Amino acid sequence: MQRTLLTIICSLTLGVVHSRNYTLVGAGACRGNGGASDKVNSMYAEGSSFSSLDSCQSACDDHPTCVGFAYADSLNQCSLYGPDLAGMCSDNADINDTIEKCAAAGSCSNDDTSANCYDGNVQMESCLAATDMCTTLEGTWTSSGYSWTDAETPWNGDSYATTHVHGHNGNPDYACYDADESDGVATCTDGTDTSGCAASFALADDYTDTSCYNCTSCGSTIDSPACTYTAAPEMESEVVVHEASVYAHGSDGYYVIGQSGACRGEGGGAATSKYSQACNIDGTVKECGEAGQDSCRMTQQECRAACDLENYMKPGSCHAYHHGTWCSIFGPDLYRGVGTSSCEDPETSTSTDCYDDFHAIARPTEADCLSPCTYVTAADAKAADESGRYHAHGACWTGYNSSLNIVKETNANVLYICWETCGDLSNGVDNDCVDVDDTYCSDNQYADCGGVTVSAAFAVGTPSFAVAALSAVVAFIF
């Protein structure tokens, strides 16, 4: 017959005196502050050696890193929680703190920033993200060769990133006890526990950074020293990387193989670009984000088409694009690129001459939107969309002008992949992944091949050029 939680709790009072003060968290196995799914790094054992709750508590006392325990009387099972209890990775580094990370540590042939998963440029939450991204980039993963040493007999390790006890999962067979109630909450310290910052922070009782501040006589007769705020630990979430490219970039003669992360200029700064979440492949504004509609996000096809169109309108103008939650198109002029502004007919007119004439120019400016037409930017169009006036022909992109014009690197965001253009294009781009020969020129409709290019002058002289060019690009993509 199973003993109740109350019986287990009462049995604690009959045991020996222990070196730590434990607090009953509740019924169930222990969990972190991330909820019932936030399992805590632990080791467990069962059998006659753990025939009482007191024996489990004694085991926690004997392990310096134990921060709590859970006991199941009906199973004679004891679980101890805390850092290092589940085992250790042979690299002896905190970054590979789980058995999965230890096994996954390595480097990718297509992304040298992923060496050992956690070098200075890649701050992923999980080494598993690095291996997944390597697969996405069709690279070869080389293991670091680390090994994992499990918990010592009779214990069995259960490896997780969380190392503090804060909650419980409600299983009535177990009782969870916490040795340190403060390790799962935010703290504010100044080197003391009962005065200064710590005292004022405790008095506020809201665990926010705004309650951690310097003050005079906060529970003390002297001015408190500098306060240090430490946020509460967070559950380590599963990292989902960008899906594989829908194109054979790296071998198609148009883009080099993608690199993990969002495109960045030299030193990691944001480069000149245009960006959007809500452009269709034909450059019109998506119907998205409103009640009953899908969330706003562009496909890789829609994102690449924008880079292709920029290069079709003005060869070499698009240097790269990245795709993820947002789509960004990079190049020195693209803050004022196709779709970042528009030219609308007067409200009293039913013609579309203003729009068509404006977008027939490779790089239209406000001066190209002639009276009585109305010039609008992406910001104008977004505001006007609320009234519906510019929904059909409103600007689709928002421009970003930076002193950095060339994509030089990527950041550590595995939700993105950055693709740079191939060939010896204009404006300083020199990614020679293919030879610019006659075959390449015939295949690549926007390459700068010995001066035979689609010129802006041709664009201006061709009626509805933007529509014709886009049709060609769409045909080229599919």
* The two structure tokens encoding residue 447: 């390459």
Tally of domains in the chain: 4
Same domain, 54 and 198: no
Taking a C-beta distance cutoff of 8 angstroms, is the pair 396, 283 a contact?
yes
Rounded distance, CA 240 to CA 259, Å?
A: 16
What token pair was written down for 289? 């984000």
- Are 381 and 399 found together in one domain? yes
H or E stretch including 469? helix 465-477
Let me know whether 161 and 212 are in one domain.
no
Does residue 244 belong to any structural domain of this protein? no
pLDDT at 462: 30
Q: What is the pLDDT of residue 157?
A: 96
124-128: long-range contacts at Cβ-Cβ below 8 A with a sequence spacing of 24 or more?
Answer: 124/239, 124/412, 124/414, 125/236, 125/237, 125/239, 126/100, 126/101, 126/236, 126/238, 126/239, 127/96, 127/100, 127/101, 128/100, 128/101, 128/104, 128/239
Task: Write down the pLDDT at residue 223.
Answer: 47
- Does 437 lie in the same domain as 372? yes
pLDDT of residue 352: 63
Q: Does the residue 250 lie in any domain?
A: no
CATH number (domain holding residue 77): 3.50.4
Same domain, 292 and 332: yes
If asked whether residues 397 and 341 sit together in one domain, one would say yes
What was the pLDDT predicted at 411? 86
Do residues 195 and 65 share a domain?
A: no
What is the structure's pLDDT at 401?
Answer: 87
Q: Is 6 exposed, middle or buried (0-12, 13-18, 19+ CB in 10 A)?
A: exposed
365 and 461, same domain (yes or no): yes
User: In whole angstroms, what is the distance from residue 193 CA to residue 200 CA?
Assistant: 11
- Measuring CA to CA, which residue among 42, 144, 56, 46 is closest to residue 98? 42
Pairing of the two strands 263-264 and 228-230? unpaired
Cα within 13 Å of Cα(362), Cβ side: 19
Question: pLDDT tens per residue, the chain (478 residues)?
Answer: 334 444 444 444 434 445 678 999 999 999 999 899 999 999 999 999 999 999 999 999 999 999 999 999 999 999 999 999 999 998 876 777 889 888 878 777 765 444 445 443 334 455 677 778 887 887 788 888 889 999 999 999 999 989 999 999 999 999 999 998 888 888 887 765 555 677 778 888 888 888 887 655 454 444 445 778 888 888 887 777 888 888 887 777 678 888 888 999 989 999 999 999 988 887 777 888 888 888 899 999 999 888 888 877 777 788 899 999 999 999 888 888 877 877 887 775 555 678 778 877 767 778 888 888 888 876 565 555 444 333 334 568 888 888 988 888 888 788 899 998 876 444 444 444 444 444 544 444 334 444 433 322 223 223 233 333 344 343 333 3
Q: Which residue has the tokens 């969002």?
A: 262
Instruction: Tell me: do 167 and 193 sit in the same domain.
Output: no
Q: What does the DSSP assignment read for 59-123?
A: HHHT-TT--EEEEEGGGTEEEEESTTTTEEETT--GGG-SHHHHHH-EEETTBGGGTTTTSTT--
Rounded CA-CA distance 401/273 in Å is 7
Residue 188, SS3 per DSSP:
strand
264, containing H or E segment: strand 263-264
- Could you tell me whether strands 398-400 and 273-276 are parallel, antiparallel, or unpaired per DSSP bridges? antiparallel
H or E stretch covering 176? strand 174-178
Same domain for 375 and 427: yes
Question: What's the rounded Cα separation, in Å, for the pair 129 and 118?
Answer: 11
Place of tokens 């529970």: 219
Question: Are 12 and 121 found together in one domain?
Answer: no
Residues 417, 435, single domain; the answer is yes
Please tell me the distance from the alpha carbon of residue 162 to that of residue 38, in angstroms, as a whole number: 7
Inter-residue contact 67 to 23 (CB < 8 Å): no
Q: Is 193 exposed, middle or buried (0-12, 13-18, 19+ CB in 10 A)?
A: exposed
* Domain span holding position 277: 259-477
Instruction: Report if residue 131 sits inside a domain.
Output: yes
